[in-house]
Structure 1
Amino acid sequence: MSSKKSHKESRQAARGQTGAVTHREEILRAADLLEECLLLLDEAGNVLHANAAAARCLGLSLEELLKANMARLADSAPPEEALHLVRGLLAAGEEFSGESVHTKPDGETVHLTLSLTRMNPPGSPGVAFALVARDVTDSRRAEEQILHDAFHDALTGLPNRALFMDRTGQSLARSRRSEEARFALLLMDLDRFKVVNDSLGHQAGDRILQGIAQRLKACLRPADTVSRLGGDEFALLIEDVREGRDALLFAERLHKALLEPFALEGQEVFTAASIGVALGTPAYENAEELLRDADTALNRAKAQGKSRSVLFDPTMHQSAVALFQMETDLRRAVESGQFHVYYQPIVSLKTGRTAGFEALVRWQHPRRGLVWPAEFIGLAEETGLIIPIGLFVLKEAIKQLRSWQSRHPRTPPLLMSVNLSGIQFLRPELTTQLDLTLREYGVEGATVKLELTESVIMEHAEYARDMMAQMKAQNVKLCVDDFGTGYSSMSYLRRYPIDTVKIDKSFISKMDTDPESLEIVRTVVTMAHNLGKEVIAEGVETREQLAKIKALKVEYAQGFFFSKAVDRESAESLVTWRWFW
């Protein structure tokens, strides 16, 4: 009886063991269906089981994995990564979760999240730990790309402003710790790059910027940095530069790197740049201050004629502060009506009478007194304030012309010349403003003369032709101002509806002493007359100059010989004045 019972129990135990084995195999087969990597480890870290995902993820076969120890797998990763830590954690019997970068035998790296869990108490046979890993390579690379994009320029791949300013701040910190850690910041702006974009298109411009980025990188050492701050502006951080002349020599290398033309769409495209240089010293509080000074030097380089390098010095900052104050004052002047129009007579050399006036703006500054245009017109153009200033002068001059024409009627009627800034001329609404002003004051367009410089006409040839045609439709007269100082091409006088040529005073003033200037004036007058244009001689100051231009049959003259520009009350008496010589 007892023998039968024992035999029965043995069979039941065997069936139980078989069932347990079968159950374990089912679990392991199910593990192979998981996307996560699963490693079952013993107390010593030997791999007792690995699923198919683990083999794929780690780049090993199942056979290789089952012969592996976690120490070997950890050694395949960089020592600072999490897999290296697992060996110590296995011995300590702790749970662990974290991340690791694992290197496969073929050199490919994978990013893993890890979770190590103890399955049985220490000293138990068989499985001691379960290690679950998930391949997060794609998401981590996406995060790395997002981080990279946040600090790099999308077009050129160079560090962007944020990264550049961070590195500049680090360089400043090093300079405070050591006198030897000096450096230079170079700010570069491409000259006339807008012309490339306008003529060849923005895609071509982008290719030029990419090419320039590569050339700048080729000039650098490993410790240096080049960044695209935006548009056509680049910044460079050059380490181990102790003196200004060394920084300027490096800037010269950059200029030379840009000399070679770019081959683009079957043509050569030449580039040049202006560069401002500032030396990094412990005196700077932050990177923004250093960049500000480099920008100040850059503006000075541009003002000196483009394609130049200028080293910052403190006097430039003082000038920049003064310029900023003037801009503030200029904006206030526009708002509070501090501008006034002065009038300089234009005299008919045939009759000796005032044929008209040129309207000239003056700024009555509350502290500085009368400010001449040479001091603020450039800044007004740069800031766009020339638009309201120019419109004020146009309206005021036409209003005054109407007043004088009403009180002093004559044939031919009094004329008024008004200068147009290039910025003002490029505004499409100018012709509408002109038409409204003429209608408002009841002035005939034929008694208004608008003065333009050669450079404005030639740099915007097609636009200028269209705009001038609209002006001529309003019967206004058109005058080329400062003739001879720009392109000096008489051919465009034939192509554009120009009525009058005004010879620049720089030629008139030298007629007495410089035969070449006299010959230039003679040539201009002859050619203008041959094309049916009237001529005004500007800047006449002596009787001798007057005699020479009269001999050349110049129609009109203006200058200090007759009168300086005066306010409207003083100009009133000149309306009917007659000069004798």
Structure 2
Amino acid sequence: MRVHAPEATLLASAGESVVRVEAGAVQALPPGAELLPPDHWLDQGELVWLTQEGALLGLLWSAEQVVSAAAVQVLTVVLAAARGGQASREADLLITQLPAATAWLSSDLSFRQVSRSFLELFGLSGAAVVGASLESVFPSAPDLRSQLSGAASGHAVQLRDELLLRGESRRWVRGEAKPYFGGAVAGVLWTVQDVTPEYVRAGEVSALLDTELPLALLGPGGVVVQASRGFMALRPGGAPAEEDPGAPLWTWPSFAPQAESALRGMLRSAQAGETVQADVPLAGGQRLNFTARPSPFTPDLVVLQGPPEASGTPSAVVSQVLSLSGAATILLDAGGRAQLISEQAASLLDLNAAQLTGTRLSKVLQQLGVRLATTTGQPLLLDDVSAPQPDPREILVTLPGGVTRQIELRVTAVEGAGKKPSVLLALRDVSALRHAQAKLRHASQHDPLTGLANRAGLRALLAEVPAGPGTVVALDVDAFGALNAALGRTAGDLLLIQVAARLNDLAGLHGGRAARLADDTFALFLPGVGAEIGAQKVQAALREPLRAGQRVVPVTFAVGASVYGEGATEQALADADVALQHARRRGRAQMLLFAPELRDDEALDFRIEEDLRGAAAAGQFALLYQPVVSLKNGRALGAEALLRWTHPELGNISPARFLPIASRSDLITGIGEWVVREALSGRSTVREATGRSDWRTSVNLSLEELRRPGAAQRLLPLMARHHALDIEVSAGSLTNHSEETLGLLGGLRSRGAQLVVDDFGDSASSLTALTQFPLSGLKLHPTLTAQLPGDERSLRLVQGTVDLAHSLGLQVTAVGVETYTQLDMLRDLGCDAAQGYAIAPALSALDLAEWVRSR
């Protein structure tokens, strides 16, 4: 970034997180954040989608400077190396099923997926299109790439009409393109419509208007709807006509007064369905043979045609004009009267063309109960939308039966005889297309399982929340992975649906909104509710057990809440996420309100995780050893290895601080391997210095760590070669009585390790584990020791634990012994061994050897 794009900002995925890189600084976005551009990135500057094979790797944005191709190439390679691409099969399937002709293109404008209607429109096959470049599919449209590139840059564009050629197929298409980034896949959604009939009609009407053939279209009463240039040339001296279209033909100065009778007779015969000819006297004294016949397009329209020899223009032009293409069109004269109405237009309006022809259309539609409105529902009159305009507009048309259709309306002026042009209304029903687009938009902002908003939907909603106090609450199900494994995926989904229903009801009571952010993570915004009250309301709504079939399943939740105020609603969601992460780390059924120091902790966690990666190689780790002595004879038996980290800037960092962070990533496996190697070395140091070949050293290893891929395969052979260390496993990890757990512990025991339960006696301890696993002993939780000798309850607990352990053949070690009085009490209670400051602090390997020699 510093070399290739120093002024730009990068959003990219890093494992399960999203990071923001700018000006040399790296910031981790809150857990659960999605790879979505901020709104202002779409409105200004240059936005580049970094993709590989359709998979979104990152977003690169610059406010001022153009991002170089080198920066795009280098960052794409780097990000692709860190994360493999994965296609969004759900999006693929949705695109293929769209009723509108739709293509999904990658950011480099190659076809990723197309709808069946797109293939049918152009006579293509999916194999020939998917994966091909835009230029190879449509080589005759070089301007199309430049238009679609706008959408690839993150901006919605309305495309110009384009003539696309495929073999003998010629299609005029009109379309729109929008950026599409769902399922972590970036690209362009290109929707096209076939407007070839409009261009055919326009060409035919143009042919009529440009011809030298004397030709006129007559409506009811003999009014002139349109007249060709050849017809206009019949007037005396070529002077402009004073009459507008809409005046009866016999009033035009082109004809002699006595022509009225002949023209009226021809009109009556043609309206009766006949084709007639007659010589009609002109104003200049000559006579011209005219043919009148009914229009095949509209029964009330009559075609009056002069002889071809008058202009040399073939009469076939007339038939081409009147054999219209079948588009839904209405021709209005300057007075708003309907002159031409296609059957398609009449069908679209659910009306009879005969009801409309020759009438003032706006008035008749109102009388028949056809209502027009804007797409936002504001009432319209036809007069409001019948003025010619360069771009189409969309209106809602409600038919007498109550059906509402969304219509795209294009209005063009049709120049003809007279001063005022007629207008041609071209109508297209886009209801199915808009419904499909709305379905896509809904899918991009809603969770398909629960129907709740997803993270993107909630963010969009929060951005529109009016100013005022309120709360955002984030929560997830404790140990949902284990529940899903135990109950099955279907039952797990049912639990999530029940959670969603309760949260949705709660949000509805307060005029808020619920959302599902990830697998088992949900969020609510509750306007007008304080953070603590909001969190408590959520806990109360979820207190009753859920059901999975016939089973009642008690479920607990981690809850984080944050207040929002004016202009800070989206930040409140991020703050609630942070509070949720901290609540989850505290254990089950925890609730936490956001405070700024939590975000500081989050930033510190990120720094600790980054610095942990090089801590061992930099010599920042060290092992100290706390001796364990027998309470029967005071003999030193061994020591527990304790990991310490001295950070060059942060100083000594407690294992309780950094080990949970390491456990959330792959770092814990490497740290565990380092501890085992170092502990083996420390044990050898003590044995060699003291001659104690029976000296034992124990290390703390979690079963979760050993279950990770490759961990056991690296550690077990290492311990087998050097005679295994003793292993301390937490009591909480032994609540899983699976065959896998039993196999892991059995493998350690077979290599000579003694297995000891650490922290026995806390709330997560399992008595069943003492009989299920191959254990050698247990260590009392320090809180039990700390209460001695004054607390009677702790004394009884220790006595009972010692008696139970001895009955099972297990040795008991007291941890955290601080005073000699405690030592005496533990000896009297039958405890076998002890460790703590009353005996010795944690020592280095050399100091430990000296301590052992001195006893």
Unaligned runs of 5+ in 2: 1-261, 267-275, 281-288, 302-318
Q: Residues of 1 paired with 2:392 and 2:797: CA distance?
A: 88
1:429 matched to 2:429: no
- Report SS of the residue matched to 2:278: helix
Question: What amino acid sits opposite 2:648 in the alignment?
Answer: P
Instruction: Choose which of 537, 541, 548 in structure 2 pairs with 1:253.
Output: 537
Residues 430-487 of structure 1: CA distance to partner in whole angstroms, max 9, x if unpaired?
3322233235xx4223xx2100111101146443212112222323211111221244
Percent of residue pairs identical: 30
Equivalence for 2:696: 415
| Residues 45 and 71 in structure 1, CA contact (< 8 A), matched pair in contact too | no
1:389 matched to 2:654: no
Question: What amino acid sits opposite 2:351 in the alignment?
Answer: L
Offset at residue 239 of structure 1 (A): 2.9
Q: Residues of 1 paired with 2:717 and 2:346: CA distance?
A: 83
Equivalence for 1:507: 784
Equivalence for 1:227: 515
Question: What amino acid sits opposite 1:160 in the alignment?
Answer: N
Cα distance change, pair 21–324 in 1 and its aligned pair in 2 (3 A): closer
1:436-455 to structure 2, matched below 5 A, reads: 436-439=717-720, 442-445=721-724, 448-455=725-732
| Residues 275 and 301 in structure 1, CA contact (< 8 A), matched pair in contact too | yes
Equivalence for 2:483: 196
Equivalence for 1:4: none
| Residues 185 and 235 in structure 1, CA contact (< 8 A), matched pair in contact too | yes
Offset at residue 225 of structure 1 (A): 2.8
| Residues 353 and 577 in structure 1, CA contact (< 8 A), matched pair in contact too | no
| Residues 669 and 711 in structure 2, CA contact (< 8 A), matched pair in contact too | no
1:392-403 to structure 2, matched below 5 A, reads: 392-403=674-685
Offset at residue 271 of structure 1 (A): 3.5
| Residues 543 and 561 in structure 1, CA contact (< 8 A), matched pair in contact too | yes
Instruction: Choose which of 186, 201, 218 in structure 1 pairs with 2:473.
Output: 186
Instruction: Choose which of 103, 110, 118 in structure 1 pairs with 2:405.
Output: 110
Equivalence for 1:163: 457
Instruction: Choose which of 621, 639, 642 in structure 2 pairs with 1:339.
Output: 621
Which structure has the highest strand share of the two?
A: 2
| Residues 96 and 117 in structure 1, CA contact (< 8 A), matched pair in contact too | no
Offset at residue 305 of structure 1 (A): 5.0
Q: What RMSD in Å do the two structures reach over aligned CA positions?
A: 3.7
Question: What amino acid sits opposite 1:234 in the alignment?
Answer: F
Equivalence for 1:281: 565
Cα distance change, pair 406–431 in 1 and its aligned pair in 2 (3 A): farther
| Residues 32 and 51 in structure 1, CA contact (< 8 A), matched pair in contact too | no
| Residues 544 and 554 in structure 2, CA contact (< 8 A), matched pair in contact too | yes
Q: Residues of 2 paired with 1:95 and 1:550: CA distance?
A: 97
Q: Residues of 2 paired with 1:540 and 1:99: CA distance?
A: 81
Q: Residues of 2 paired with 1:78 and 1:452: CA distance?
A: 71
Equivalence for 2:442: 148
What TM-score does the superposition give when structure 1 sets the normalisation length? Answer: 0.82
Q: Residues of 2 paired with 1:541 and 1:12: CA distance?
A: 125
Identify the range of structure 1 (303-312 vs 464-473) with the bigger mean alpha-carbon deviation: 303-312
Equivalence for 1:13: 278
Question: What amino acid sits opposite 2:383 in the alignment?
Answer: R
Cα distance change, pair 22–539 in 1 and its aligned pair in 2 (3 A): closer
Which structure has the highest helix share of the two?
A: 1
Cα distance change, pair 184–517 in 1 and its aligned pair in 2 (3 A): closer
Question: What amino acid sits opposite 1:70 in the alignment?
Answer: S
Offset at residue 47 of structure 1 (A): 3.3
Equivalence for 1:485: 762
| Residues 277 and 292 in structure 2, CA contact (< 8 A), matched pair in contact too | no
Residues 370-390 of structure 1: CA distance to partner in whole angstroms, max 9, x if unpaired?
444334333333455333222
- Report SS of the residue matched to 1:352: coil
Offset at residue 344 of structure 1 (A): 1.3
Instruction: Choose which of 274, 296, 304 in structure 1 pairs with 2:578.
Output: 296
Cα distance change, pair 513–150 in 1 and its aligned pair in 2 (3 A): same
Residues 542-581 of structure 1: CA distance to partner in whole angstroms, max 9, x if unpaired?
4443344444544332222321110111011134453xxx
Q: Residues of 2 paired with 1:94 and 1:64: CA distance?
A: 27
Offset at residue 230 of structure 1 (A): 2.1
Q: Residues of 2 paired with 1:83 and 1:540: CA distance?
A: 83
Q: Residues of 2 paired with 1:429 and 1:124: CA distance?
A: 87
Offset at residue 268 of structure 1 (A): 1.9
Offset at residue 206 of structure 1 (A): 2.7
Q: Residues of 2 paired with 1:573 and 1:253: CA distance?
A: 60
| Residues 353 and 576 in structure 1, CA contact (< 8 A), matched pair in contact too | no
Instruction: Choose which of 519, 526, 536 in structure 1 pairs with 2:796.
Output: 519
| Residues 416 and 449 in structure 1, CA contact (< 8 A), matched pair in contact too | yes
- Report SS of the residue matched to 2:481: helix
Residues 9-63 of structure 1: CA distance to partner in whole angstroms, max 9, x if unpaired?
x984189766632666699999899653233434433334533322332223445
Residues 316-359 of structure 1: CA distance to partner in whole angstroms, max 9, x if unpaired?
44444555554455445345231100111122344532221111
Question: What amino acid sits opposite 2:477 in the alignment?
Answer: L
Cα distance change, pair 72–509 in 1 and its aligned pair in 2 (3 A): same
1:268 matched to 2:552: yes
Residues 206-251 of structure 1: CA distance to partner in whole angstroms, max 9, x if unpaired?
333233223222223585332222222223233345xxxx343233
Q: Residues of 2 paired with 1:366 and 1:89: CA distance?
A: 73
Offset at residue 279 of structure 1 (A): 2.3
1:209-224 to structure 2, matched below 5 A, reads: 209-221=496-508, 223-224=511-512
What TM-score does the superposition give when structure 2 sets the normalisation length? Answer: 0.58
- Report SS of the residue matched to 1:563: coil
Cα distance change, pair 376–132 in 1 and its aligned pair in 2 (3 A): closer
Q: Residues of 2 paired with 1:94 and 1:426: CA distance?
A: 69
Q: Residues of 2 paired with 1:556 and 1:184: CA distance?
A: 52
1:87 matched to 2:383: yes
- Report SS of the residue matched to 1:77: strand
1:237 matched to 2:525: yes
Q: Residues of 2 paired with 1:486 and 1:275: CA distance?
A: 21
| Residues 337 and 361 in structure 2, CA contact (< 8 A), matched pair in contact too | yes
Matched residue pairs, number? 550
| Residues 334 and 388 in structure 1, CA contact (< 8 A), matched pair in contact too | no
Q: Residues of 2 paired with 1:520 and 1:376: CA distance?
A: 32
Offset at residue 149 of structure 1 (A): 2.1
Instruction: Choose which of 349, 352, 365 in structure 2 pairs with 1:58.
Output: 349
| Residues 331 and 338 in structure 2, CA contact (< 8 A), matched pair in contact too | yes
Q: Residues of 2 paired with 1:366 and 1:470: CA distance?
A: 38
Unaligned runs of 5+ in 1: 1-6, 176-180
Q: Residues of 2 paired with 1:460 and 1:33: CA distance?
A: 79
Cα distance change, pair 99–292 in 1 and its aligned pair in 2 (3 A): closer
- The structure, 1 or 2, with the larger RCO (C-alpha pairs under 8 Å, 6+ apart) is 1
Question: What amino acid sits opposite 2:487 in the alignment?
Answer: L
Instruction: Choose which of 661, 684, 699 in structure 2 pairs with 1:379.
Output: 661
Instruction: Choose which of 475, 493, 497 in structure 1 pairs with 2:774.
Output: 497
Question: What amino acid sits opposite 2:757 in the alignment?
Answer: V
Offset at residue 122 of structure 1 (A): 6.6
Equivalence for 1:77: 372
| Residues 47 and 70 in structure 1, CA contact (< 8 A), matched pair in contact too | no
